[in-house]
Amino acid sequence: MSDRVTSTIKVINKDESWGYIRKIDENHARDYALYPSSLSKSSNLVYEELDEDTPVSFKLQETNGFFKAYDVIVINDETQSNTITQTVEQPISSQSFTASLDSPTSTSKNINSSLTDYLTGKISIDDSDLVIGVVSAVGTDSSLVTEPLVHRLLKFGYTAEKIKLSSLINLENHIDFENEEERINSYIKAGDELRKNSNNAILAAGAVTLIEKARDKNKKMAFIIDSLKHPEEVEFLRKVYSDGFYLLGIYADEERRLEYLKDRRGCVVEGSAQRLIDIDESEGFRHGQRTRDTYHLSDFYVYLGSNQDLINNTLQRFLDLIFSSPYLTPTFDEYAMFMAFNSSVRSGDLSRQVGAVVAKNKQIIATGANDVPKAGGGLYWSEIVSKTGKVDDAPEGKDYTRGIDSNKKTQLDMVQDIINKIEVKFEQLQSINDYEKELKKILIESTIGDLTEFGRVVHAEMEAILSCSREGISTKSASLYCTTFPCHNCAKHIIASGVERVVYVEPYPKSKALEFYNDSITLKSIDNEHDYNKVNFEPFIGVGPRRFLDLFSMSLGVGDKLKRKDRETGKTLDWSHEKSSIRTPLVDGSYDKLEQAAIDIWNNRSHTN
Ligand SMILES: [Zn+2]
């Protein structure tokens, strides 16, 4: 928090609703913009009362080269003694005022004063823009989430602007569509075309362009991008807005989505709703729509069911966390999933890192990751070699030490074997080489590619269960949290182990678990009751592992540290929506600007010791 500054108003232009305050200290005179919105209660009435030389007190901020007097401006009582009322030597016309806003003529120390204050913790940024991306499968009525979100952001003083990605897609010769399926498909195809011709994140670049256009520098703005359909769009937005960007994953049951597409969107042609859902999940090529691969990148997961109160309260909690509420702590599910994610990062698997934990009575009893097993129990760990002092892996242990994924290699061997055994009699193919090439392509793309059992690694779920058995801990009635939906091979062992609840984040389309074991597994959502006769598989809801530390840790997260009590009195500190600020704000300055601010701090350090 910066101290309040007192000074006087130098120019007030009531007709055009702006003015400026000139603050003079020992060395410098600087001008700060003043708008009615920066006045107490944003009241134009207060603005009307202002005159030149009215003593005011305010806080300062720089945004995009604008120096603004912000926070509540208090009009000082004239009897107050400490008001600075220095006069300006030379009145400035409105023109030169504008110029001084765009390119301040003060020294570099002054240009960066708000950044230096930010770096040294004197101020926290409390009018940063907020960018929220939404990812949801087709047939999800996302307005049930985005509308209350817009409404709730108002409480924090934020104006929300929806950025519709579909508005970026220009359908040239559209106009009349036969039906809804055709209309949605046209958009999907046009989106694919755009990605194919430029790059997979092109719509995210379009979203940034729309955000820049919609930004109103006099307002605190939140931008809601609806909806992202490709993982590279998310990567792109994280590069642009870094920690100021949040991805909100909306989960809706397939049944509910089918119903919505049929009843509300008029997808009445037989099978059309299902076809759309399948295409939307993944079109199966790099530049296609890939909602399934995008969803699990979310920072926060909300369940869109029939209970609107639940949706609203989930969103409120999400926003309270973003806006630095110090009194929100994780649910056990969130904690357990975070621990599962933590476990996953020890994995040296060549294709994906998966983590799992087994929990019982809200206590984590075992962890697991996917990696190669080691004799004596457990998986290979990297270890410090005492002779050399290097951290190293056992030779021929983890897959990378062998330089190949045994699963992929075995699949390829199988394909080659089939090719070798088939009689070569295709006349249209000029040579046996062409024939082999074609057939190989077909076989590789076939379901042979879905086989997983030739991998050397133990899957994370299995390792977690096995670690229970190594230590003699019962897995009966336990819960299992895993970062990815279990494969069918693990699923049968999960069922056999007596685990009764499985929570997962990332879908795993190769898994046949639900198909093979529908007698023992049910896909449960918040809306239906726990089935005690089956193992309940549930999608994860809540704060995802990715931003867990940022949102829950008082000190380890990115952004401002959290305080819960007054150090002297021990009493809890007040936190309110109105006064809260974003914990990981968008800092107005690239690293070279921040670097310059740091250099200024160093150069202007006190020499007095
Ligand atoms: Zn598995």
3-state secondary structure of 524: coil
Answer yes or no: is pLDDT of 381 > 80.
Answer: yes
Res 143: pLDDT: 94
Contacts for 496-501: CB closer than 8 Å, 24+ residues apart:
497/465, 497/468, 498/474, 499/358, 499/465, 499/475, 499/535, 500/532, 500/535, 500/536, 501/530, 501/535, 501/536, 501/538
pLDDT at 111: 40
Cα(493) to ligand 1 centroid in Å equals 9
pLDDT at 333 over 60: yes
**Residue scoring higher pLDDT (96 or 58):** 58
Region 266-288: mean pLDDT is: 89
Between the CA of 275 and the centroid of ligand 1 the distance, in Å, is 28
| Phi and psi at residue 551, to the nearest 5° | -95, -25
Strand, helix or coil for residue 368: strand
The pLDDT value given to residue 45? 67
Tell me what the mean pLDDT of segment 265-277 comes to: 89
Task: Determine the pLDDT at residue 607.
Answer: 62
How far does the centroid of ligand 1 lie from the alpha carbon of residue 459, in Å? 5
- Determine the distance separating the centroid of ligand 1 and the alpha carbon of 513, expressed in angstroms: 10
Q: How far is the CA of 360 from the centre of ligand 1 (A)?
A: 21
As a whole number of angstroms, the distance between CA 20 and CA 53 comes to: 11
| Separation CA 486–CA 450 (nearest Å) | 14
Q: Give me the residue label for tokens 């005492």.
A: 386
Q: Is 248:133 a contact under the CB 8 Å cutoff? A: yes
Decide if pLDDT at 297 tops 50: yes
Rounded Cα gap, residues 479 and 333, in angstroms = 10
The string of pLDDT tens digits covering residues 165-195 is 988 887 766 667 878 888 888 889 989 999 9
pLDDT of residue 1: 38
Structure tokens at 143: 């307005």
User: Residue 37: what residue type?
Assistant: S
C-alpha dist (Å) from residue 54 to 7, 10, 93, 96, 379: 8, 8, 18, 21, 72
Q: Strands 220-226, 158-164: parallel, antiparallel or unpaired by DSSP?
A: parallel
pLDDT of the residue at 428: 56
Quickly state the pLDDT bin for 424 (edges 50, 70, 90).
low
Find the 371 Cα to ligand 1 centroid distance in Å: 11
Kindly report, residue by residue over 77-86, the tens digit of the pLDDT.
544 434 333 3
Q: Would you tell me the crossing angle of helices 180-197 and 272-281 to the nearest 10 degrees? A: 20
Does residue 227 have a cis bond before it (omega within 30 degrees)?
Answer: yes
CA distance 111 to 116: 10
List the single range of 224-238, 389-403, 418-432 with lowest mean pLDDT. Answer: 418-432
What pLDDT, in 10s, does the model give residues 438-469?
888 888 888 888 888 889 999 999 999 999 99
Give residue 528's pLDDT.
83
Q: Are 30 and 110 within 8 A, CB to CB?
A: yes
- Beta-carbon count within 10 A of 139 CB: 24
pLDDT in tens, 558-607: 777 888 888 888 888 888 888 888 888 887 777 778 778 878 877 877 76
DSSP code, position 285: S
Given a cut of 80, is residue 76 above it in pLDDT? no
Contacts (Cβ under 8 Å, ≥6 apart) of 583: 321, 322, 323, 324, 550, 551, 557, 559, 560, 562
Q: How far is the CA of 492 from the centre of ligand 1 (A)?
A: 9
Q: Please say whether the beta carbons of 279 and 187 come within 8 A.
A: no
Greater confidence (165 vs 437) lies with 165
Residue 25 binned pLDDT confidence (cut-offs 50, 70, 90): low
Residue 308 has pLDDT above 50, yes or no: yes
More confident residue, 182 or 359: 359
Predicted TM-score (pTM) of the model is 0.74
Give the per-residue pLDDT at 98. Answer: 31
Q: How far is the CA of 235 from the centre of ligand 1 (A)?
A: 27
Strands 18-24 and 29-34: antiparallel
Distance (angstroms) between ligand 1 centre and the Cα of 411 equals 17
| Residue 503 near residue 530 (C-beta atoms within 8 A) | no
pLDDT at 14: 78
Query: Distance from the CA of 497 to the center of ligand 1, in angstroms?
Result: 14
Specify the long-range contacts of residues 406-413, CB closer than 8 Å, at least 24 apart. Answer: 406/454, 406/455, 406/456, 407/451, 407/452, 407/453, 407/454, 407/455, 409/454, 410/451, 410/454, 411/444, 411/448, 411/449, 411/451, 411/454, 412/444
**Stretch 246-265: mean pLDDT, rounded?**
93
pLDDT the model gives residue 97? 31
Long-range contacts of 205-213 (CB under 8 A, 24+ apart): 205/236, 206/165, 206/168, 207/163, 207/165, 207/168, 207/233, 207/237, 208/237, 208/240, 210/163, 210/167, 210/168, 211/129, 211/131, 211/161, 211/163
322 pLDDT more than 80: yes
Torsion angles phi and psi, residue 385, rounded to 5: -85, 115
496 C-alpha to ligand 1 centroid (Å): 14
Tokens 């909100």 correspond to what residue? 248
As a whole number of angstroms, the distance between CA 270 and CA 556 comes to: 53
Average pLDDT for 544-558: 87
**What local confidence, expressed as pLDDT, does residue 526 receive?**
80
* Predicted confidence band of residue 331 (pLDDT cuts 50, 70, 90): very high
The rounded Å distance from CA 486 to ligand 1 centre is 5
Torsion of CA 590, 591, 592, 593, to 10 degrees: 60
- State residue 86's pLDDT score: 34
Ligand 1 centroid vs 354 CA: distance in angstroms? 9
Q: If you measure from the C-alpha of residue 489 to the centroid of ligand 1, how many angstroms do you get, rounded to a whole number? A: 6
Reduced to 3 states, what is the DSSP secondary structure of residue 249?
strand
| Token representation of residue 123 | 């101020």
Of 67-76, 242-251, 528-537, the least confident: 67-76
Taking 80 as the threshold, does the pLDDT of residue 30 lie above it?
A: no
Least Cα distance to 564 among 556, 574, 555 occurs for 574
Return the pLDDT at 49.
73
Q: At what angle do helices 202-214 and 231-241 cross, to 10 degrees?
A: 40
Q: What distance in angstroms lies between residue 346's CA and the mean position of ligand 1's atoms?
A: 17
Distance 300 CA to ligand 1 centre (A): 25
Cα–Cα distance measured from residue 435 to residue 157, given in angstroms and rounded to the nearest whole number: 66
- For 105-161, the pLDDT digits (tens) are 333 334 456 788 888 877 777 778 999 999 999 999 999 999 999 999 999 999 999
> Rounded to the nearest whole angstrom, what is the distance from the C-alpha of residue 457 to the centroid of ligand 1?
10
- C-alpha distances (whole Å) from 52 to each of 7, 12, 69, 571 are 11, 6, 15, 43
Instruction: Report the alpha-carbon distance of residue 155 to residue 312 in Å, rounded.
Output: 13
What pLDDT does residue 434 have? 75
The pLDDT assigned to 65 comes to 55
Exposed/middle/buried for 272, CB within 10 Å: 0-12, 13-18, 19+? buried
Please, what is the average pLDDT of the chain? 83
Q: Which of 445, 306, 452 is nearest to 370 (CA)?
A: 452
Determine the distance separating the centroid of ligand 1 and the alpha carbon of 527, expressed in angstroms.
27
CB-based contacts of 85, cutoff 8 Å, min separation 6 = 8, 53, 55
Distance CA 33, CA 18 (A): 7
- Kindly state the percentage of the chain with pLDDT values over 70: 85
Compute, in angstroms, the gap from residue 510 CA to the centroid of ligand 1: 10
Least confident of 186-200, 310-324, 381-395, 439-453: 439-453
pLDDT at position 414: 87
Most confident of 23-27, 150-154, 263-267: 150-154
| pLDDT, mean of residues 18-24 | 76
Distance (angstroms) between ligand 1 centre and the Cα of 523 equals 17
177 residue type, one letter: F
Amino acid type, 558: V
Percent of the chain with pLDDT over 90: 44
**pLDDT tens digit sequence for 479-531:** 999 999 999 999 999 999 999 999 999 999 889 899 888 889 999 888 888 88
The rounded distance, in Å, linking the Cα atoms of 453 and 502 is 22
Task: For residue 95, name the pLDDT band (cuts at 50, 70, 90).
Answer: very low
CA 543 – ligand 1 centroid, Å: 24
Count Cβ atoms within 10 A of the Cβ of residue 63 and give its class: 0-12 exposed, 13-18 middle, 19 or more buried: middle
> How far, in Å, from the CA of 519 to the mean position of ligand 1?
19
Mean local confidence (pLDDT), 366-370:
95
